[in-house]
Amino acid sequence: MHGIHHVTAIAGNPNANLRFYVRGLGLRLVKNTVNFDDPETYHFYFGDQRGSPGTILTFFPWEHAAPGRNGIGLAETTAFRIPLRSIGYWIQRLVELGVTHEALGERFGEKVLAFRDPDGTSLALVGVAEAEEEEGWSGGGVPAEHAIRGLHGVTLMLDDAGPTGAILADILGFREIGRDARHVRFKAESPVGGIVDIRVAKGFLPGRLGRGSVHHVAFRAADEDEQARMVRKLVENDHLLTTEQKDRKYFRSVYFHEPGGVLFEIATEAPGFTVDEPLDRLGSSLKLPDFLDSRRQELESVLPPLEMPG
Ligand code: ZN
C-alpha cells in the first residue's frame, strides 16, 4: 500500500522530546537507537504499537542545534489522525499540557488543530470520522478511543506544485484530489499517512534546517523490488538520481531531493522494528546496528543519559 512511511525531524533536548511524544501525545517509543550516519546522536522512533509504516515520526535530537526556519523546500507541518469526536478531548489535553494551540481550523472539509512541540516543530491533529475504526496505542496514557491513529500527512511548502506533484503521482502512488486557495492535496490509498498537501508560497523565504524542522519525508515501497522499480523510473522519467540503497536495519532506504527541494526517502516495509527486540519490549533499551556494536561502550558514554518516560 502506498503512502508516507515515516517523517524525520530535528529536536533539541532528547529527554524533552521523549516526554512530549510519549507522555504528552501518547505515542509509543518503538525504537531507541542512534543516527547511523552520526552515531553520537540518538535516533528515536515514535509510532503505534508495532511502529507500522504510516504511523512513524522520528527525531534526531541535537541538543545544541540552532533553530530551523520553515520556508520553501521543507516539509512545514506534520499532521496526525485522530477520531473526529476526539477533538474536544485533545483541545483539553493540550491545555493541560501547557501547549498553546491555534483556533480549530478546517482544510478540505477536515477539522485541523494546529500546535507546536517544545522545539517549535509544526504539528496538527486532524479529526477524521473513519479513524474511530482504526487502532491506536493506549499504552502511553491516552485512552484508546482518543489515541492518535498514526500520521495523517504532511504539508510541503513549495514555490510550485507542478514538478513535485508529478513525482508524487508518477512514482510514489499519490493522486491529486483537490485544490483550495493555498493548497494542492494529494492522496495515496493508505488511510494512515495518505495525505501530502503542497502549500504554494511563491517568493517566500527558503527554509533552513535546524531544531524544529523536518529533515525528510519517507514514502512506502512494498518491498525491495518495488523500490528498485521506483528508482529506475526516477532516473528514466525524471532524470533524478537517488543515493545507493542504505540498510537502516528496520527498513532499506534510498534518498533523493525532489524537484521542489525537499529530501524524500523511499523505505521498504520490511523487516520492521521487531527485527532486534520483541514486540512487548520495543524501545526499552538502546539498540545499535551490527556495525556499531563494537563501539557500544564508547557511544553509551557520550550519549546523554535518558529518563525513560515509562
Ligand atoms: Zn528516514
| Residues 31/244, Cβ–Cβ less than 8 Å | no
Distance 109 CA to ligand 1 centre (A): 30
Q: How far is the CA of 34 from the centre of ligand 1 (A)?
A: 13
Q: Is the pLDDT of residue 218 over 80?
A: yes
Backbone angles phi, psi at 171, to 5 degrees: -110, -45
* Tens-digit pLDDT profile for residues 1-52: 999 999 999 999 999 999 999 999 999 999 999 999 999 999 999 999 999 9
* CA 225/CA 229 separation, integer angstroms: 6
Tell me the pLDDT tens digit for each residue of 244-284: 999 999 999 999 999 999 999 999 999 999 999 999 999 99
Mean pLDDT of 107-136: 96
Are 29 and 23 a contacting pair, CB within 8 Å? Answer: no
CATH placement of domain 4-302: 3.10.180.10
Ligand 1 midpoint to CA 157 (Å):
19
At 246 the pLDDT is 97
Distance from the alpha carbon of residue 92 to the mean position of ligand 1, in angstroms: 32
Instruction: Using the mean position of ligand 1's atoms as its centre, give its distance from the Cα of residue 41 in Å.
Output: 15
**Does the pLDDT at position 204 exceed 90?**
yes
Distance from C-alpha of 20 to C-alpha of 125, rounded to nearest angstrom: 15
How far is the centre of ligand 1, averaged over its atoms, from the C-alpha of 88 (Å)?
32
Q: What string of DSSP letters covers 178-235?
A: EE-SSEEEEE-S-STT-EEEEEE-TTPPBPB-SBTSEEEEEEEESSHHHHHHHHHHHH
Report CA(77)–ligand 1 centroid distance (Å): 16
| CA neighbor of 136 nearest in space, from 82, 56, 59 | 82
Please determine, for residue 141, whether its predicted confidence score (pLDDT) is greater than 90.
Answer: no
Q: Is the pLDDT of residue 107 over 90?
A: yes
- Give the domain ranges of the chain: 4-302
Angle, helix 224-238 to helix 162-170, in steps of 10 degrees: 140
User: Sorting pLDDT into bands at 50, 70 and 90, what band is 302?
Assistant: very high
CB burial readout 52-77, b (16+ within 10 A) else e: bbbbbbbbbbbeebeebebbbbbbbb
The percentage of residues in the chain with a pLDDT greater than 70, rounded to a whole number, is 100
The answer to whether 159 and 260 are in contact (CB under 8 A) is yes
The pLDDT value recorded for residue 72 is: 98
Residue 140: predicted pLDDT: 86
CA 161 to ligand 1 center in whole angstroms: 23
**Spatial distance between the Cα atoms of 227 and 30, rounded to a whole number of angstroms:** 24
Q: How far apart (Å, rounded) are the C-alpha atoms in residues 302 and 289?
A: 17
- How far is 220 from 233, CA to CA, in rounded Å? 15
Q: How far, in Å, CA of 310 to CA of 303, rounded?
A: 20
What's the mean pLDDT in 141-169?
A: 97
This prediction has a pTM of 0.98
214-221 and 263-268 as β-strands: parallel, antiparallel, unpaired? parallel
- Per cent of the chain over pLDDT 90 is 96
Residue 21 Cα, ligand 1 centroid: separation in angstroms?
18
Mean pLDDT of 229-237: 97
Q: How far is the CA of 49 from the centre of ligand 1 (A)?
A: 19
Look over the chain and give the mean of its residue pLDDT values, rounded to a whole number: 97
User: To which residue does cell 522530546 refer?
Assistant: 17
pLDDT exceeds 90 at position 236: yes
Q: How far is the CA of 96 from the centre of ligand 1 (A)?
A: 32
